[in-house]
Amino acid sequence: MPWTLATCPGDPMNALLAIEQLSICFGDQRPVQDVSLSLESGSLLALVGESGSGKSLTAHAITRLLPRHAACQGRIWWHNEDLLSAPDARLLRLRGQEVGMIFQEPLAAFNPLHTVERQLMEAALLNPSHNRQTGRTHILNLLEQVELNPNVLGRYPYELSGGQRQRVMIAMALVHQPQLLIADEPTTALDVSLQKQILDLLKDLQKRLNLAILLITHDLGLVRHYADHAVVMQEGRSVESAPTIDIFDHPQHSYTQTLLAAEPTGQPIALTEPQHCLLELQQFSVAFPLRRGLFKRVTDEVVAVQPLNLKVHAGETFGIVGESGSGKTSLGLGLMRLIPSRGRILLDGVNLNDLNTRQLRPWRKHFHMVFQDPYGSLSPRLSVAQILAEGLDVHGIVGTEQQERIIQALEDVQLDPASRHRYPHEFSGGQRQRIALARALAMQPRLIVLDEPTSALDRTVQSMMVDLLRRLQERYQFAMIFISHDLKVVHALSHQILVLCRGQVMEQASAAQVFATPQSEYTRMLLQAAWLNAPEDGHKKD
C-alpha cells in the first residue's frame, strides 16, 4: 500500500497518539478486535487486562513490531500520520527516536556479550549529532536521570539486579528523547519496593520531560496510583475507557468489576488445635564459595542467609518475605537440600543435613518444592502424566496406584485429568503452575515449599491460586513454606512470617503481629510499598 500523509479525522483532543478500530489478524485468529484509544502529550495511559487480552499486541502495533504474517486493520494516528500505511524507512526513524520501548524482560532485550556502556553508546551514536565524546556525556546524563551510578557502564546485563536492568532499559529508551514511552509490564517480576521505585521514576520523567507514557500492566494497584486514564481490555477488545478515578470509583463493565475484586483476600486456614513441630531449623545458614585462580581455590564466601532459627508446625503456613536478593530462595533451596547449607534441618526430629544422598531419598517424599518459573521447571519433552510420574517411580509407586494419584492430583488443582497426555507448552502460565503443584501433591507430602508461585500471574489467577492452596491445605493438612515478595498473597495465606533483608532476619512473628505492629523499619517500608495499592486506600496520585 503506498504511503500518504493524512490528517487524523475528527479527533477532538488533538491527541499525540490515536488508535481507531484496530484489529490484528493471524490467519483466521483475531487476538485484537476494534480497539480504540487516544493519548495526549504529558499524560500516562494504562492499558490493563489479563494475560492474553491483547495489550502487548496493541502496543507493538504502534511501531509495527508484529510478526510478518500479522495483518492489521484500522488506523494508528501519530500526530497526523497513519502509521499502518507508513513505509519501513519511516518506521525506522520512528522507533527509538520518537517512540521509546521498555520491554517486559530486560535481560532478554539486552545483548549478554556487551557491556551496558557499549549498548547505550550504540543507541546514542545512531544520532548523527553525537560522537563518542558527546555520546558518553549524554549517556552519563541519562544515568543520572534514572538514578544509576556510572559504574554500571562497565558491567554486563547479567551482573545487574532486576531494578538496575529496568533502569538501564529506561535510559536506553530515552536516548533519543522520544515523545512517547511504551512500558510493557515494566514491574512484573520486581518486588514491591522496586515496583514503586520504577513507577515513581517513570512518573517523574513524565513530568520533567513532558513524556506521554503508555503503561501496559495487569496490576490494577499500579494503575490506581500512577495513571491518568485507563483502558481495560478483555479477549482482544477494549471494554472500558475512562479517567482512572472513574474506573476505580465507578466501574461500568462487569469485567472491570471482576478485575477490581480479584485482589487476594481472606485469612489463612484455622488451626483448630496445637500441632506438633514438623520442621525446625537451628542455626541454619547458606553461603556460596568464591573461587579464584587457576585451580579455583576457595578464597572467600558470600553469605546468602545468616544463621537463623524457625519452627514450622503441621498444617501451618510460614511466610518468608523480603526484596529480591534477600536470601528467600536460597533459604528454600537449602532446607530442601538442593544446595549446601549449614546448621540443622530437623524433619520430625531427624537432621537431614546428617544424611547422605542415599539416606535422604526415602525422606524426600515428605517434602516437595514448587519453583517460581513454571516454564523452566517442567520438562518440555515430557507429557504432564510423565512429569507427575517421575517422583512416583523413584519411590516405587507404580501401576494402578500411580495412575490414581496422578488423576487425583490433577483434579485437586482443578485441571482436567484427560489433559494429562498433553505437553507443558500447551498450557497457560497459570495452568503450568497448577501442574507444578500437582506434581508435589501426587507424592502426598507433609511439607510443600513454594517459591514465588504467583509472581508472574495475573491478579485474577493469583486470587484463584490462593483460594486453591487454602482449600488443599485444609483438606490434606500439609504445612507450607510460602516464599514471596507479594505481601498481599502472604497475608492471605500465612500464620507465621519471617522477614529477610540481605540474608538477615529483620523480624519473625505471627502474621497478625507483623501486619498490625511491625517492629523493624524495613518491614514498615515493605508494608507501605505493598499497601499503596490496597483498595481501601482510595485513589492516590501525585
Q: Can you spell out the DSSP letters for 364-381?
A: GGGEEEE-S-TTTSS-TT
204/209 Cα distance (integer angstroms): 8
- Is residue 230 a contact partner of residue 46, using CB atoms and an 8 Å limit? yes
Q: Which domain holds residue 128?
A: 105-175
H helical segments located in 253-383 = 254-260, 328-335, 357-360
Position 389 in a domain: yes
Instruction: Provide the b/e sequence for 493-524 (b: ≥16 CB within 10 Å).
Output: bbbbbbbbbebbbbbbbebeebbeebeeebbe
Question: What is the rounded distance in angstroms from the CA atom of residue 286 to the CA atom of residue 327?
Answer: 9
Place of cell 546524563: 141
What is the pLDDT at residue 463?
87
In the listed set 136, 152, 175, which residue is the last one of a domain according to the structure? 175
Same domain flag for 162 and 301: no
Q: What's the CA gap between 440 and 472, in Å, rounded?
A: 12
Q: Are residues 171 and 282 in the same domain?
A: no
Q: What is the pTM of this model?
A: 0.75
Residue 540 is predicted with a pLDDT of 39
State how many domains the chain has. 2
For the four alpha carbons of 489, 491, 492 and 495, in that order, the dihedral sign comes to positive
Helix residue ranges per DSSP H, 268-378:
328-335, 357-360
Verify that 425 and 304 share a domain, yes or no. yes
Is residue 481 one of the residues assigned to a domain? yes
374 within domain boundaries? yes
Dihedral sign for Cα 112, 118, 122, 124, please.
positive
**DSSP code of 535?**
G
3-state percent helix, strand, coil for the chain, nearest multiple of 5: 40, 25, 35
One domain, residues 141 and 290: no
- The predicted structure's pLDDT at residue 277: 94
The confidence score (pLDDT) of residue 537 equals: 42
Is residue 210 in a domain? no
Please tell me the predicted confidence (pLDDT) of residue 541. 39
How high is the pLDDT of residue 275? 81
At 365, which CATH number? 3.40.50.300
Q: Please report whether residue 495 resides in a domain.
A: yes
Long-range own/partner contacts, residues 143-147 (CB < 8 A, 24 or more apart): 143/171, 145/171, 145/174, 145/205, 146/170, 146/171, 146/174, 146/201, 146/205, 147/201
Dihedral class, residue 453 (left if φ above 0, else alpha if ψ from -120 to 50, else beta): alpha
- Verify that 288 and 161 share a domain, yes or no: no
Of 175, 204, 233, which one is at a domain's C-terminal end? 175
For residue 168, which phi and psi values (nearest 5 degrees)? -65, -40
Q: How many CB atoms lie within 10 A of CB 51?
A: 16
Tell me if residue 8 falls in helix, strand or coil: coil
Maximum Cα interatomic distance, the chain, rounded to a whole number of Å: 78
- Contact between residue 153 and residue 142 where contact means Cβ atoms under 8 Å apart: no
Residue 368 maps to a domain: yes
Element (H, E) at 350: strand 350-351
pLDDT averaged per 10 residues in sequence order, the chain, 542 residues:
39 76 92 93 92 88 90 93 92 91 82 93 89 93 90 88 84 92 83 81 91 89 89 93 94 91 85 86 92 80 93 95 86 94 96 95 94 82 95 94 96 93 85 92 96 80 89 94 89 95 94 93 85 46 39
Examine residue 57 and state whether it is found in any structural domain, yes or no.
no
Which one of 147, 175, 203 terminates a domain? 175
Lookup: cell for 195: 515496583
State the pairing for strand pair 297-313/277-292.
Answer: antiparallel
User: Which amino acid would we find at residue 242?
Assistant: A
Specify the pLDDT at position 456. 67
Which grid cell sits at 306?
545468616
3-state secondary structure of 64: coil
Q: Which three cell numbers stand for residue 418?
A: 484427560
**Which residues pair with residue 301 across a beta bridge?**
289
How many helices and strands, by DSSP H and E, does the chain display?
19, 20
Q: Cell 482436567 maps to which residue? A: 416
Show Cβ contacts of residue 472 under 8 Å, excluding neighbours closer than 6 positions: 412, 413, 437, 441, 478
In a domain, residue 56? The reply is no
- In residues, how long is the chain? 542
